[in-house]
Amino acid sequence: MDSPLGSALRPLLRIARSALVFIAVLLTLAAFARVGWRTMHRDQERPNEKTLTVMHWSGDGGQEEDRIVEDALREFELAHPGVRVERINPGDAGSFYTKLQTMMAAGAPPDVFYVGYERLANFASLDLLLPLDSYVAQEAQSGKSDALDLDAFYPQTVEAFRFDGARVGSGTLYGIPKDFTTVGFYYNKDLFRKAGIAFPTSDWTWDEYIKDARALGALPGITGSEFVTWPVMVRTYLRTEGAEAIDGDLLAIRVEEPAARVALEQLRAWRHDEAHTLTSGKSKIATGASVFLGGKVGMAGPFGRWVVPSYRNIPSSEQGGFAWDFAPLPRGKDAANCVLTVSWSIAKNTRHAEESWELVKWLTNAKSQAANARLGLAIPTLKSVAQSPAFLESTLSPANNQGYLDAIASAQVVAWPADPTFEQLLGSTMDQGLKSGDLTIAQAILEFRAKWDAHVQFVPGGTQPMPMPWNIVSWIGFSLLALLLGWILYPWIRPPHALSVRSEERAGFLFASPWVLGALLFMAFPIFYSLILSMTDWQGVGPLSSAHWVGSDNYTQLIARDGRFHTSIRVTLFYAAIAVPIGQLLSLLAAILLAQKVRGIALFRAAWYLPSVLAGVGVAILWRWVFDSEGGLANRLLEMIGIAGPEWFGKDAAIAAPPAFALMSFWLIGGSMMVYLAGLQQIPKDLYEAAEIDGASAWRKFWRITLPMLSPVILFNLIMAIIGSFQVFTQAFVMTGGEPGDLTRFYVLYLFNHAFELYDMGYASAMAWILLLVVLVLTAIILRMSSRAVYYEAMKK
Amino acid sequence: MATIAFKQVSKVYEGGVRAVDAIDLSIGEGEFCVLVGPSGCGKSTTLRMLAGLEEITSGTLELDARRVNDCTAKERDIAFVFQNYALYPHLTVQQNIAFGLDARRTHKSALAALLRGNSDAMRAESRAIDARVATVAQTLGLEPLLARYPRELSGGQRQRVAVGRAIARSPKVFLFDEPLSNLDARLRIETRSELRQLHRRLRATIVYVTHDQEEAMTLADRLVVMHQGRIQQNATPAACYDTPANRFVAGFIGTPQMNLIDGDLSVQHGELGFESHGFRMPLAAHWPSLSNASPQSIALGIRPDRLLLSGASAHALPATVQSIESLGDRTDLALQSAWGRLVLRATPESVAGVREGDAVHVTLAPSHAHLFEVGEVGARVPTARS
């Protein structure tokens, strides 16, 4: 720049630089302006046009359900000029609820959306849904031709969306049911013929059911029946035997009563004391509806109508498939069935209640229901449509559509407590007793009782919790922010340095600012926020104003009383104790092998690293096959060397599951191996040459040069591995979901359960902070202990 | 103390690069032999083959008249000082020096001692090592540094530790691979003489590799100039300087470089002369082999201190002074002439009046000129004296 040309260019360069800065600022402002304008535009919609947001899922219905909703909405728009409808479909029900929860927490739920009967109590108790009784009443008075008449619906489906503040079944109406199902067993007609037994009738009994299952199980290679032990099915099953899981007020557990016990013992005995009668609980590969598809299982259930779209893909007998039909749930002492239903509901804080109501009416009217009925996914809630040819006279299987309707007579809405913990605990403990079999029924009941009691007795913040003083919290937050800003800005306010130094500083801060802003906004703020949330009872759905201050209650409950939490720590530590040391050893060995200069070594390195770039979920599903206790690869290998393999995720999960997860983790050593490899290649080659000339053996070279020179890398990898081992989630979530019981419920999985399934964001936040502290303390201990074993000299020049 | 003999030793790397090409070299007991040459000439490869760090592709390497091609580095009993010293960064100076002694404690003897419960023997061995380290440290003045780590040492100190590590084991042969190249100029000269003294004291056989011909000249008993994997000259430093075997050695040895001019040799009027770019200079009868030669291409070499400023004459080459570098005790003139760029070294007094841009005349004493056959390694044409 000192050349004459350089000095001539300098002003030009300065102008160019200013121009670039100007353009950058302009672009940024434009981006903000665009987003802001769009938001404002959305808020101030034109007075003669109103926009509704509709959200639904299309899990079992697939593309077709998506299209049916879309068509109905477009027709609605045509019929209602001035109303625009935007549709959101996040995919399956799980994604739907996660999205809904997020939108509700943000105070911006969609106007109209699906609500499953099992969530109604929860949402209604949080005051998130618009009561619909007044609209229904208006309808009756209006006398219009399209007026909605609740009497035209199956009464149980309507009851499912009434909530009286304590339980579902009566009280305020929060949704109009769009469709429903009763449950029963799907059966393979071909296998029934082969076994020489009659097809089930609509009023068959459990005795007949189990006789059929045994007869089917006697066929070679055939299992009698799949019997899912989902909480709702367990409860319905109990009702057929005159027993209950919980009393009518949803307060007292009743599974300990003799009738319930006997019924549960009977179901357990069918599965665990007989071979080939029921599918075993050992297998984790194919569960639920899909086992039926293979044609090796005589019956599958209790399922509702939702399996029909996928079962309709079963080819006919002539084309290698089989014929199948449906029979409602068998009778025990009583006839009983359940009504599982989904409504269209309206958000409490919608700005277009009238239009939303019109839309709900539209989506539940006879025409929409008929379109849905043709999909086969569910039963229309309007009696007239259900009993019309649109539903009954489908040319496709199942033939026994009437069977679903016959079951309605004895069907009830399954009322769940507003607290989803009940359902989850019932599910996981009964799974242990009935399915995986690692607990007896008596043990499972005890376990359920203990966990439920521990949960019920926990009333965070006492019976009169203090509403969250958000204004005080905000003041504290803003003061801290101001302090922080002051600390950052201090260099500018400080007595001035030399001008050049200041401009350099300014440049430094400017360059760092995008990251700093991002870190503050997206990391520091949420972290600080979660600390506050951990001292509230905020549920994650519903506005923050609904939160209460509970002080350290979440923490004390976790540490002192939450047995499930302790189990999760035990499981995680057990896993870490195996996965971390062995994993590190293996990756170091692999790195040493791959550091060799051999032809094609790059290929080997890529191969070792490959598993680390594969998608976690898909891989986890494959691993589930490997560890399947019936015919899984792992047990077959063990069998070959004469060892009877454990039921990894079944009966033996307490001992075998964490090691299984550890074994899986060894598949992913590629990442730390790469770090070791890089570390190995950092070691100067002449050190080895010097040692060689000094006469050191290979072992001595490794021990005296490689290890010490690598020690900082080993420490780094060790700490990362420990942190990683505390964050096991995907594998457990996909492969076991924490089951059986809580035996694979890793720390983060339990955290996730609380945050996104049990709606306990405050509790989950506390858990996150405990995890942070645990990892911090562990890391500090390791760092301190390592000071003697780690040679940082190796890192310095 | 040992003798070393390379017999037709070659090194061919994977991919066919011939780094060392059938060299023959024998080094006597207690000799300080310096391998010198530009980078890539094969000198380091030669050294590494000698150390056992590099496999020998073909030929025989003998240590004390014993073939050692297939011996490990350990079995050859040599010491190696690396360019970057290769000190173990995680060990103290004490541990660095003791490393080789420790490593050589045979496992068998250690195990036997352990089994016999003979901790005394082991302790005695440890004491012996400590004593040896202390002696070495004293020799090299490293005592105050024994507890330090390499990164806490200066370059010169590290270099001395590296030497200490080498001598601790009293090996047969010391190998040095450019050990001074990471030191600053002053330290390099200091260490050079220390090494010289060390050699005198130890009377060990030393093979030393460097690309710095000045270092090579000052250290060597015997200088081995290498180029393109071949030995160009193997002689004393003085011989290499005075009678370079070929054009390459002539250009490589000596600072400033010898002036080398391509031209033609011819006889005119019965007088042998060298002509380049139209300027002819008669040559005296130093080259009996050439007196009847037919005209041929040849290169003339003349060291800068053998070029003389003179008055204008038919045999004086006119030139222009391009730059003057005054070094105090001598002055180097860069000249531009019909023969191209020439460097002339003179005493300051003799060029006191000369300024940059001046026109001058240059003569050379034919008795100090060298003639080389054409080509990069064109052989020296022998004079009457040699």
CB B339 within 8 A of CB B350: no
Question: A694: nearest CA in chain B?
Answer: B100
The amino acid that residue A349 corresponds to is: N
Contacts of B203 (CB under 8 A, 6+ apart): B1, B30
pLDDT in tens, A768-793: 999 999 999 989 998 888 877 777 76
Q: Closest chain A residue to B51 measured between Cα atoms?
A: A693
**Which residue do the tokens 């089951």 mark?**
A739
Measuring CA to CA, how many Å separate A511 from each of A27, A230, A481, A505, B263?
Answer: 17, 55, 21, 10, 63
Cα separation of A125 and A140, whole Å? 27
Question: What is the full DSSP assignment across A12-74?
Answer: HHHHHHHHHHHHHHHHHHHHHHHHHHHHHHHHT--TT-EEEEEE---TTTHHHHHHHHHHHHH
Q: Which tokens in the block code for residue A376? A: 């086969």
The predicted pLDDT at position A571 comes to 94
Structural contact between residues A780 and A694, judged by C-beta atoms closer than 8 angstroms: no
Shared domain for B324 and B179, answered yes or no, is no
The whole-model pTM stands at 0.78
Query: Tens digits of per-residue pLDDT, A52-111?
Result: 999 999 877 778 888 889 999 999 999 988 899 999 999 888 889 888 988 887 778 899
Q: In this structure, is residue A461 part of a structural domain?
A: no
Dihedral in degrees, nearest 10, Cα atoms A620, A623, A625, A626: 180
Q: In terms of CA atoms, which chain A residue is nearest residue B170?
A: A694
- Chain A residue whose CA is closest to B173: A693
* Predicted ipTM beyond 0.90: no
A466-483, pLDDT tens digit by residue? 888 888 888 888 888 888
Query: CA–CA separation, B318 vs A341, rounded Å?
Result: 112
First to last CA, chain A: 34
Question: B167 near B190, Cβ under 8 Å?
Answer: no
CA distances from B134 to B142, B147, B164, B167 (A): 9, 12, 10, 12
In a domain, A396, yes or no: yes
Question: If you average pLDDT over each of A505-519, A777-791, B120-134, B146-160, which comes out highest?
Answer: B146-160
Residues 6+ apart with CB under 8 A from B245: B225, B232, B233, B235, B379, B380
Same domain, B16 and B118: yes
Cβ atoms of residues A738 and A658 within 8 Å: no
Q: How many domains does chain B have?
A: 2
Residues of chain B contacting A696 with CB distance shorter than 8 Å:
99, 103
Same domain? For B233 and B261 the reply is no
What is the enclosing helix (H) or strand (E) of A285? none
A-chain residue closest to B154, CA distance? A797
Residue B257 inside a domain? The answer is yes
Tens digits of per-residue pLDDT, B307-347?
Answer: 988 888 888 899 999 999 998 899 999 999 989 999 999 99
Task: Quote the domain boundaries for residue A76.
Answer: 50-181+342-412
Residues A527 and A587 in one domain: no
Residue B79 token pair: 């010491």
Q: Both B234 and B254 in a single domain?
A: no
> Cβ separation of A690 and B82 shorter than 8 Å?
yes
Average pLDDT, chain B: 88
Q: Using CB atoms, pick whichever of A687, A700, A708 lies closest to residue B103.
A: A700
Is residue A382's pLDDT more than 70? yes
Please indicate, yes or no, whether residues A560 and A583 belong to a single structural domain of this protein.
Answer: yes
B175 falls within a domain: yes
A793 → closest Cβ in B52, B79, B151: B151
Whether A168 and A113 map to the same domain: the answer is yes
Is residue A735, in this structure, part of any structural domain at all? yes
Q: Is residue B324 within 8 Å of residue B356, measured between CB atoms?
A: yes
Helices (H), A230-302: 231-240, 258-272
Whether A444 and A497 share a structural domain: no
Q: Sheet containing B359-364: which strands, arranged edge to edge?
A: B307-310, B359-364, B317-326, B331-337, B340-346
Separation of alpha carbons A684 and A674, rounded Å? 18
State whether A694 and B99 contact (CB < 8 Å).
Answer: yes
All residues of chain A having their beta carbon less than 8 Å from the beta carbon of residue B89 are 709, 791, 793-794, 796
Which residues on B lie below 8 Å from A704 (Cβ)? 88, 99
Mutate to test the interface with B, among A688, A693, A704 (most CBs of B within 10 A): A693
Q: Are residues B212 and B303 in the same domain?
A: no
One-letter identity of residue B221: D
Segment 696-755 of chain A within 8 Å of chain B by CB: 696-697, 700, 704-705, 708-709, 711
Sign of CA dihedral A501, A505, A506, A507: positive
Distance CA B49, CA A132 (A): 93
One domain for residues A646 and A719: yes
- Number of domain units in chain A: 5
Is A35 within the bounds of a domain?
A: yes
Does B355 reach chain A within 8 Å, measured CB to CB? no
What average pLDDT does the segment A266-295 reach? 80
Here the CATH number for the domain that contains residue B263 is 2.40.50.100
* Dihedrals phi, psi of A24, to nearest 5 degrees: -60, -45
Q: Touching check for B186 and chain A: CB below 8 Å? A: no
Confidence of residue A298 (pLDDT cuts 50, 70, 90): very high
Interchain contact, A793 vs B73, CB within 8 Å:
no
CB contact B88 to A (< 8 Å): yes
| Chain B residues closer than 8 Å to A684 by CB | 84, 86
- A797–B151 C-beta distance less than 8 A: yes
**On the CB side of B36, how many CA atoms lie within 13 Å of its CA?**
30
In this prediction, residue B222 carries a pLDDT of: 93
B53 chain-A contacts, CB cut-off 8 A: 689, 692-693
Nearest to A206 by CA among A191, A231, A180, A227: A227
Encode A252-272: b = buried (16+ Cβ within 10 Å), e = exposed.
ebebebebbeebbeebbebbb
Q: Identify residue A51 by its one-letter amino acid code.
A: T
Domain stops at, among A424, A456, A488: A456
DSSP B118-178: -HHHHHHHHHHHHHHHHHHHHHHT-GGGTTS-GGGS-HHHHHHHHHHHHHHT--SEEEEES
- Are residues A575 and A519 located together in one domain of the fold? no
List A residues 645-684 in contact with B (Cβ-Cβ < 8 A).
684
* Same domain assignment for residues B255 and B301: yes
Same-domain status, A391 and A443? no
State whether B151 and A791 contact (CB < 8 Å).
no
Q: Are residues A418 and A437 in the same domain?
A: yes
The answer to which of A160-164, A641-645, B113-117, B239-243 has the lowest mean pLDDT is B113-117
Higher pLDDT: B373 or A373? It is B373
Q: Which of A626, A706, A638, A628 is nearest to A667 (CA)?
A: A626
Residue A542 lies in a domain: no
Cα–Cα distance for residue pair A131/A151, rounded to 1 Å: 18
The Cα of A793 is separated from the nearest Cα of chain B by a number of Å equal to 5
Is it true that the peptide bond before B256 is cis, omega within 30 degrees of 0?
A: yes
Establish if A794 touches chain B: CB-CB under 8 angstroms: yes
Does residue A790 belong to the interface with chain B, where contact is any CB pair within 8 Å?
A: no
- Partner A contacted by B52 (CB < 8 A): yes
Residue A17 lies in a domain: yes
- Contact yes or no for A346/A129 (Cβ under 8 A): yes
Q: In angstroms, what separates the C-alpha of A517 from chain B's closest C-alpha?
A: 39
Q: How far is CA A481 from CA A476, A489, A508, A521, in A?
A: 9, 12, 21, 11
Q: Is residue B386 part of a domain?
A: no
- Max mean pLDDT range (A51-65, A529-543, B54-68): B54-68
* Mean pLDDT of the region A113-123: 91
CA distances from A742 to A430, A748, A767, B182 (A): 12, 12, 16, 64
Residue B109 sits at the chain A interface (C-beta within 8 Å):
no
Query: CB distance from A787 to chain B under 8 Å?
Result: no
Do A640 and A756 share a domain, yes or no? yes
Is the pLDDT at A6 greater than 70? The verdict is no
Give a yes or no: residue B383 inside a domain: no
Are residues B237 and B296 both part of a single domain?
no
- C-alpha A285 chain-centroid distance: 19
The pair of structure tokens assigned to A101 is 């929860």
Interface touch A692/B72, C-beta < 8 Å: yes
Joined tokens for residue A485? 């800003």
Nearest-neighbour CA in chain B from A701: distance (Å): 10
Tell me which of B211, B245, B279 is where a domain ends.
B245
Instruction: Please indicate, yes or no, whether residues B208 and B285 belong to a single structural domain of this protein.
Output: no
- CA distance to partner chain A, nearest, from residue B154 (Å): 12
Same domain? A567 vs A595: yes
Instruction: Please state, rounded to an integer, the average pLDDT across all residues of chain A.
Output: 87
The enclosing H or E element of A307 equals none
Looking at the structure, tell me whether residues B14 and B96 fall in a common domain: yes
Do A650 and A708 fall into the same domain? yes
Same domain, B79 and B176: yes
| Contact with chain A for residue B165, Cβ under 8 A | yes
Torsion angle (degrees, nearest 10) of CA A207, A213, A217, A222: 180
DSSP three-state, residue A328: strand
Contact A662, A577 (CB under 8 A): no
Q: Do A621 and A660 fall within a single domain? A: yes
CA distance B180 to chain A (A): 16
Are residue B8 and residue B154 in the same domain, yes or no? yes
Q: What are the backbone angles phi and psi of residue A350, rounded to the nearest 5°?
A: -65, 150
Do the Cβ atoms of A695 and B79 come within 8 Å? no
Which among B74, B150, B151 has the least Cβ separation from residue A695?
Answer: B74
Judge whether B130 lies within some domain.
yes
Q: Is B53 on the interface with A (CB under 8 A)?
A: yes
Domain-ending residue, one of B209, B228, B245: B245
CA distance B145 to chain A (A): 16
Query: Residue B150 falls within a domain, yes or no?
Result: yes
**A41 pLDDT band (50/70/90 cuts)?**
low
* Residue B235 and residue B255 in one domain: no
Q: Which residues of A574-599 are buried (b: 16+ CB within 10 A; e: fewer)?
A: bbbebbbebbbeebbebbbebbeeee
For B101, the closest chain A residue by CA position comes to A694
Concatenated DSSP letters for B310-368? Answer: E---TTSEEEEEEEEEE-SS-EEEEEEETTEEEEEEE-TGGGTT--TT-EEEEEE-GGG
pLDDT value, residue A797: 47
Is the minimum CB–CB distance between B108 and chain A shorter than 8 Å?
Answer: no
| pLDDT for the residue numbered A4 | 63
Across the A:B interface, residue pairs with CB atoms under 8 Å apart total 72
Is B377 domain-assigned? no
CA distance B46 to B30: 19
Q: Do the Cβ atoms of A195 and A215 come closer than 8 Å? A: yes
- Cα gap A17→B110, rounded to integer Å: 72
Range(s) of the domain holding residue B74: 4-245
CATH number at residue A150: 3.40.190.10
- Give the pLDDT of residue A165: 86
Q: CATH number, domain at B23?
A: 3.40.50.300
User: In this predicted model, what pLDDT tens digit does every residue of A515-525 receive, in sequence order?
Assistant: 888 888 788 88
- Contact criterion met (CB < 8 Å) for A796 and B89: yes
Task: Give the amino acid at A538.
Answer: W
A687 touches chain B (CB under 8 A): yes
pLDDT over threshold 70, residue A22: yes
Q: Per the domain annotation, does A546 fall within a domain?
A: no
Here the CATH number for the domain that contains residue A772 is 1.10.3720.10
Report if residue A549 sits inside a domain. no
Residue environment code for B326-344, b if the CB has 16+ CB neighbours within 10 A, otherwise e? eeeeebbbbbebebeebbb
Among A412, A430, A445, residue at a domain's last position: A412
User: Which residues of chain A lie closer than 8 angstroms to B103, CB-CB?
Assistant: 691, 694-697, 700
- pLDDT of A431 above 90: no
Of the given ranges (A449-458, B59-68, B239-248), which has the lowest mean pLDDT?
A449-458
* Interchain CB distance below 8 Å, B90 and A691: no
The helix or strand, by DSSP H or E, that contains position B248, with its residue range, turns out to be helix B247-252
Tell me, yes or no, if B203 comes closer than 8 A to chain A by beta carbon: no
Residues of chain B with C-beta less than 8 angstroms from the C-beta of A690: 80, 82, 86, 88, 165
B169 vs A contacts (CB less than 8 Å):
694
CA B89 to chain A, closest CA, distance in angstroms equals: 6
**Residues in chain A closer than 8 A to B150 (CB atoms):** 793
Structural tokens at position B185: 């100029």
Nearest CA among A309, A378, A370, A375 for reference residue A343: A378
- pLDDT reported for residue B293: 67
Residue B378 inside a domain? The answer is no
- CA-based nearest residue in chain A for residue B155: A797
Domain end residue (candidates: B200, B222, B245):
B245
**Predicted pLDDT at A129:** 93
For residue A1, pLDDT over 50 is answered with: no
